[in-house]
């Protein structure tokens, strides 16, 4: 199994941003998945981003963005992002669907799929993949919503799934492993995050049982990006160090008993 490890974390100031960009490789990560504030200043000047960070492998493996597809302005925002992403070598747009889940019917949720496929096709034209980040309070939230939305996606290569462990649990989905095995054809990215008492936690410090999650990831033979999505509010260096150790330990090959 070949998994590429990424790190993602909001930064509050230049000092934190520098720690993130300068520290991810030394901590053992293959890349970063950047939050809006970390790349937005460069949207109109991709060369400035390349001049500052272009020598770092995987420095922008993914851009995390949001919008209210199928609203027309959201499509234009994505197209602008695609042009920028193509120029700086991004592989994936991780898209948080900023529409309120409350009051939506199954028909409404299924009806979002064509817009995502349309924009997924445009992403492919730029050499990029569009991946939906399901989210508490957004249209794909409950277990049934995954069936409803992805049941309408005709081509899994056009609309990926960024599976976020903590947002599943926060949304009341207890069997995370079931979602992983059921939607394996769509999963192209993981956001690994812990959760306890209504708060996000550094991996391994919350109450999510990760053993069955790691077992499901091994079961589907996943190869691709896995990002620690660190939103606990802890220190940058602490998160970098602790999260990769937790992920690599959890995905280490399971040794068979002697004679087995």
Paired tokens of 241: 């160090």
164 pLDDT more than 70:
yes
Residue 41 in tokens: 């200043």
pLDDT tens figures, 77-124: 999 999 999 999 999 999 999 999 999 999 999 999 999 999 999 999
Q: Which domains does the chain possess?
A: 3-250 (3.20.20.150)
d(CA 219, CA 215): 6
**Nearest of 174, 173, 162, 170 to residue 222 by alpha carbon:** 162
pLDDT tens digit string along 5-44? 999 999 999 999 999 999 999 999 999 999 999 999 999 9
d(CA 30, CA 95): 21
Identify the CA nearest to 56 among candidates 15, 94, 27, 13: 27
Range in 1-15, 167-181, 224-238, 244-258 with the lowest mean pLDDT? 244-258
Q: What are phi and psi of 220, to 5 degrees?
A: -85, -5
Three-state SS at 208: coil
Choose among 96, 82, 78, 43: nearest CA to 229: 96
Asked if residues 18 and 237 have their Cβ atoms less than 8 Å apart, the reply is no
pTM of the model: 0.96
């Amino acid at each position: 199994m070949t998994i590429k490890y990424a790190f993602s974390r909001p930064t509050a100031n230049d000092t934190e941003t520098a720690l993130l960009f300068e520290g991810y490789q030394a901590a053992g990560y293959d890349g970063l998945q950047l939050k809006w504030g970390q790349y937005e200043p460069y949207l109109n000047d991709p060369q400035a981003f390349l001049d500052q960070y272009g020598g770092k492998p995987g420095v922008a493996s993914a851009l995390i963005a949001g919008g209210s597809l199928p609203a027309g302005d959201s499509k234009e925002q994505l197209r602008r992002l695609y042009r920028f992403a193509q120029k700086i070598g991004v592989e994936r747009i991780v898209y948080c669907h900023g529409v309120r889940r409350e009051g939506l019917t199954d028909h409404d949720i299924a009806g979002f799929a064509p817009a995502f496929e349309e924009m997924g096709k445009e992403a492919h034209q730029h050499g990029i993949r569009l991946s939906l980040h399901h989210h508490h309070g957004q249209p794909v939230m409950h277990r049934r919503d995954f069936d409803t939305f992805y049941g309408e996606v005709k081509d899994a290569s056009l609309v990926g799934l960024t599976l976020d462990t903590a947002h599943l649990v926060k949304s009341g989905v207890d069997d995370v492993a079931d979602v992983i095995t059921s939607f394996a054809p769509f999963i192209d990215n993981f956001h690994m995050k812990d959760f306890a008492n209504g708060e996000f936690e550094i991996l391994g410090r919350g109450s999510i049982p990760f053993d069955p999650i790691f077992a499901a990831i091994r079961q589907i033979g996943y190869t691709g990006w896995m990002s620690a999505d660190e939103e606990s509010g802890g220190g940058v260096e602490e998160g970098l160090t602790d999260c990769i150790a937790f992920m690599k330990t959890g995905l280490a090959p399971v040794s068979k008993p002697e004679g087995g």
